[in-house]
């Protein structure tokens, strides 16, 4: 498995339903295919834990696709420790890391289009590539989309582009 990434959303504004609908609309507007099997996983206390959606460029090609998790509100591990170390992020924000996207590597072009469309719908959220100390805002994505495509876009600090 490659590097994972997440959307960062204010804790009191997170809803799995909103994430699910935003993922679907972002896939539609980024001309990606979406596959959803309606498999839901629950905690022992019967709280919704997560479901997954596959986003892909082409159903017949086993490349350029990723899996995104739609997280329940009571999941462990949603807390994003925003202690001021992330460039471009107000340290006073209380955030969840949701919508884990698996296997960023080799999916950069699809991700650029998908993340752009997702943040267009949710301009107060951020996109964070795990293990990096910066985040992408809606304004960063607008700037990136206006430039010639760079396959390494998500591995670069958006403030340096």
pLDDT of residue 135: 95
Structural domains of the chain, count: 1
The CATH number of whichever domain residue 52 belongs to comes to 3.30.160.690
Mean pLDDT by 10 residues, the chain (161 residues): 88 96 98 92 94 88 86 91 81 93 90 98 96 94 97 94 85
CA distances from 105 to 31, 56, 129, 139, 151 (A): 20, 14, 11, 23, 10
Tell me how long the chain is: 161
Containing structural domain, residue 125: 5-160
Q: Kindly state the tokens that stand for 86.
A: 């992330």
CA distances from 93 to 26, 55, 81, 132, 141 (A): 24, 29, 10, 18, 20
pLDDT of residue 62: 64
């Amino acid at each position: 498995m490659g590097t994972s990434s997440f959307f960062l959303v204010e804790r009191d504004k997170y809803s799995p339903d909103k994430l699910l609908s935003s993922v679907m609309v972002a896939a539609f507007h980024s001309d990606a295919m979406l596959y959803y099997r309606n498999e839901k996983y629950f905690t022992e206390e019967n709280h919704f834990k997560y479901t997954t959606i596959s986003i892909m460029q082409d159903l017949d090609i086993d490349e350029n696709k990723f899996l995104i998790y739609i997280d329940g509100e009571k999941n462990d591990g949603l807390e994003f420790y925003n202690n001021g170390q992330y460039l471009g992020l107000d340290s006073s924000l209380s955030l969840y890391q949701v919508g884990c996207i698996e296997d960023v590597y080799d999916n950069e072009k699809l991700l650029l289009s998908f993340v752009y469309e997702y943040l267009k719908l949710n301009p107060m959220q951020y996109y964070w590539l795990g293990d990096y100390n910066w985040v992408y805002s809606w304004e960063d994505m607008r700037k990136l989309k206006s430039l010639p495509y760079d396959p390494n876009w998500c591995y670069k600090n958006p403030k340096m582009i």
